[in-house]
Homo-oligomer: A and B are copies of this chain.
């Protein structure tokens, strides 16, 4: 029974890795779609986000099924609760990538990014993508170093988020009201994406140390 459970935990982990890989691709493409006003790519992101929802729902069903059949207790039970929480966070991360892509689509053929903030948003998107990439690695193999790196990236993201507001409010960038709204929302979406990545590191450390037994 124990061996079957270990095998099922590996299946859960593999599915989390697959979802995280798709989330990584999604945030990278959303960043490009937002930066280059690429509507076709934005549509792809929106479709991929729906795939993530579907995969997360299927993983939740599997997790509930494992809980029912294996009746885990103690740390094994916490692993399974952690898996449910991680799938919820990954789903939200894909939602946020969708929202970023939608901003590009709404403003097309105009750019959603105000002049003077292009580099900042490219950096935010780059950091989100790196965070997702490190989550994929972390889900494959537990590593405290990766957890620390993801938290450092989140700090960098929070600084950039503050910088966006600083720039917007200083009126140093030339933009209209639409640009201010878009910059505010996009910055918020990127920042929340990072928060969810950090939430996953909180679960993952425990989850992977158990699954790697």
Contacts and interface: CB of A to CB of B under 8 A. Distances in A.
Interface residues of A, number: 23
What number of copies of this chain does the assembly contain? Answer: 2
Main secondary structure, interface of A, reads: helix
A11 B78 CA distance: 21
B169 A178 contact: yes
A71 B178 CA distance: 53
Interface stretch (A24-32, A48-56, A144-152, A180-188): A180-188
B77 A68 contact: yes
A4 interface: no
A68 B78 CA distance: 10
Contact of A77 (B64, B78, B165): B64
A179 to B, nearest CB: 10
Nearest to A70: B71
Given A68-B73, A68-B74, A73-B68, A165 B181 contact: yes
